[in-house]
Amino acid sequence: MRQGIAKLHAGMCALVLVAAPLSTWAQTTAKPAQTPAPASTNAADNVTDVTVFLKKKSSIPEQNMRIDTRKASSCGFIGSDGTSEYVADYIRDMTGSYDLNDPNSFSETSPLGDASRESTNIAASPGGSEDSANADSERDGCTDTDRRFAAGRAYILRKDKTIYQAFDFFDQKKYPEALAMFKTAYNKIGYEDAAFYIARMYLEGLGTPKSPKDAIFWFRKVAEQPINMRRPHPFDPKNPDYMETRAEATMTLAKIYLTGFGVPRDPKEALKWFEKAASIGFIPASKIVGDIYYYGNGVPKDLNKAYKNYSEAAKYGYAPAQYAVGQILEYGEGAIKADPNTALGWFREAAKAKHPGAMYKIAVAYDSGEGVAADPQKALVFYKEAAVGGNPDAQNAIGTYFYQGGLLPKDDVAARQWFEVAARNGQADAAFNLAVMYTKGEGGPKDLVKAYVWFMAARVHGHENATAALKSIQSQLTDAEKAEVAKLFAPKS
What pLDDT shows up at residue 66?
Answer: 37
Q: pLDDT band for 159, please (50, 70, 90 cuts).
A: confident
Tell me: the pLDDT tens digits for 227-269?
544 455 578 888 898 989 999 999 999 999 999 999 999 999 9
Question: Among the residues of 369-427, which ranges form H helices?
Answer: 376-388, 392-404, 412-424
Name 82's Cβ contacts closer than 8 Å, sequence gap at least 6: 228, 231
How far apart are the C-alpha atoms of 205 and 235, rounded to whole Å?
Answer: 32
Smallest CA-to-CA distance from 213 within 205, 202, 200, 224 is with 202
Smallest CA-to-CA distance from 23 within 229, 390, 296, 360 is with 296
What pLDDT shows up at residue 227?
Answer: 58
Q: What is the DSSP string of 8-76?
A: -----TTT----S-HHHH------TTSPPPS----GGG-GGG------S-----GGG---BGGGSTTTT
At residue 450, does pLDDT exceed 60?
Answer: yes
In single-letter form, the type of residue at position 184 comes to T
| Mean pLDDT estimate for the chain | 77
Q: Specify the higher pLDDT residue, 203 or 237.
A: 203
**Contact in structure between 363 and 397 (CB atoms under 8 Å):** yes
The phi, psi pair for 105, rounded to 5°, reads: -115, 115
Tell me: the pLDDT tens digits for 42-94?
433 443 333 233 333 334 343 333 334 344 333 443 333 332 333 334 334 44
In single-letter form, the type of residue at position 245 comes to T
Q: How many CA atoms lie within 13 A of 267 on its CB side?
A: 15
What pLDDT shows up at residue 236?
Answer: 87
How far apart are the C-alpha atoms of 121 and 130, rounded to whole Å?
Answer: 7
Break the chain into its structural domains and give their ranges: 65-158
Q: How many CA atoms lie within 13 A of 443 on its CB side?
A: 23
Choice among 133-137, 167-171, 221-225 with the minimum mean pLDDT: 133-137
What pLDDT shows up at residue 26?
Answer: 31
